[in-house]
Amino acid sequence: MLAENCIFCKIVRNDIPSKIIYENDETLAFLDIFPIAEGHTIVVPKKHYENIEAIPDEILISVIKIVKKLATLLHDKLNFEGYNILQNNFKAAGQVVQHFHFHIIPRNFNDSRFRLAIPREQAIEEDLDQILKIIKG
C-alpha cells in the first residue's frame, strides 16, 4: 500500500528521482536531499506506514536490520567519527514526512550542524514516581 501524495511513496514508485544506495523487496534507502551531513541517508519501508505505532513488528525488524547494515557501510566507506540514528514520530517530534523512516546522520567531532540538547538537571524522585504511576496505570 502506497499513499498517493506521500513524497517517500513517490520515491518508492520512481515518480521522483532519488540517489538510491540500497533496495530490497521491503526497504529503500536513499541520500537525503537536505542533508545535515555528507552521506545523510533515509531508510524507509516500501509500504506506507505513518509512524512507529502503525508499522507491523516484522516490517520494523527488517527495516532496522537494514539501518544497521547501512550505518556500518557508511561508517566504513565515508570515514566519519560517529553517527546518529534518528526516527521521529508525529509533527511535534519533528516528523516532516508522514511515512515511517529512519535517518542515518554521519557525525564528526566539533561539527555544529546537529545537536541534541540533553538536560543536565536531574529529575525529582517524586515526579518520576508520578509518571511511572500514570504509565503503569
Catalytically annotated residues? 101
Maximum separation of any 2 CA atoms in the chain, in Å: 53
Q: Which amino acid is at 43?
A: V
**Grid coordinates of 97:** 514526512
Q: Quote the CA–CA distance of 120 and 92 in Å, as a whole number.
A: 22
Give 30-33 contacts, CB < 8 A, sequence gap 24+: 32/103
Per the CB < 8 A criterion, the answer to whether 19 and 31 are in contact is yes
